[in-house]
Amino acid sequence: MHVEHYQLWERCRGFVKEMCVGRDPSHGLPHAEKVTEIAVLIFCMQEQTSTSDAAATLSRIIFTAMIHDVADHKYDSEGTLKRRLETFVQDEPSEALGTRESRIYVLQTIEAISFSAEKRCGRRWFASTLPDDWLRVRDIVSDADKLEAIGHAGLIRCLQYTVHSLSTRKGDEIDKEHHERWKAEGRPHWSAAAERQCLDAVRKHFEEKLTLLSTHYIVTRPGHFLSQRRHAEMCETLSEWEMNGLPPLAR
């Protein structure tokens, strides 16, 4: 990585931190950082065809990976974050994003990373829209995002979002009970009802999405390699939770 790559990463870090303030960690800055780290690893594991092209490709990977979840529909029902994202993309000074077409491709690539969009529109629906160099960016960042979703850490992330989602819908009754038991016993503790509700939601998400990622949606060779251990670990973790109960969550 060159100095401009680190500077780009820092600019994105500041933007994501500002846009995702107050958001649960499953789709906030920690997730963006991890996806970017995995994406850079995948890029380095691939064979490089051109040194000059590699620098531009890496810039596009870092940029796309860092901002890919800023305007996630789950957190942006009014489209405010989407408009802020579009402005940030337009203002980015990186040479690798210096053309109007590149800025359009960034936004199209972010949409193409979405699991729900690919499930809704069909496998690789974006292949006729993105040029080959941006298809590579898409596949690397998409694989990194999906690798972040699986494994033991991926299930913890799923559980974090589940607690956040159910608490929001239920008027914070899960959070309230969680905190009451934490105060009484000195550590986080699940009630039977909250644990069953969360575990059922995690199991459903596992069956509908997570278990399919390594076999159907991860497409790069490094991604396949990195997914094997994570997939097995994820299955073992879910079995352990169903047998012994959910882990305490740090609040």
pLDDT in tens, 123-137: 999 999 999 999 999
Which among 102, 106, 105 has a CA at the least distance from the CA of 12? 106
Which domains, from first to last, does the chain contain? 3-142 (1.10.3210), 151-244 (no CATH)
Three-state DSSP class for residue 166: helix
Under 8 Å between Cβ of 19 and 70: yes
Dist. CA 149–CA 96, nearest whole Å: 28
Banded pLDDT at 182 (limits 50, 70, 90): very low
SS3 45: helix
Q: Say if CB 27 and CB 20 are below 8 A apart.
A: yes
- Between 249 and 141, residue with greater pLDDT: 141
Summarize pLDDT for 152-162 with one digit per residue, the tens: 999 998 888 88
- C-alpha distances out from residue 169 to 164, 172, 193, Å: 9, 7, 15
- pLDDT at residue 19, rounded to an integer: 95
pTM over 0.95: no
Angle between helices 51-67 and 29-45 (to 10 degrees): 160
User: What stretches of 29-73 adopt beta strand conformation (E)?
Assistant: none
Encoded amino acid at 35, one letter: V
* Alpha-carbon gap, residue 191 to 174, rounded angstroms: 9
Give the separation between CA 173 and CA 90, rounded to whole angstroms: 42
For the chain, the residue count is 251
Question: Which residues have a Cβ under 8 Å from the Cβ of 90 and sit 6 or more positions away?
Answer: 103
Query: Virtual CA dihedral for 212, 118, 121, 102, nearest 10 degrees?
Result: -170
Rounded distance between C-alpha atoms, residue 184 and residue 205, angstroms:
31
Whole-number pLDDT of residue 96: 92
Taking residues 232-251, report their average pLDDT: 85
In angstroms, rounded to a whole number, what is the distance separating the alpha carbons of residues 47 and 65? 20
Residue 26 confidence (pLDDT): 78
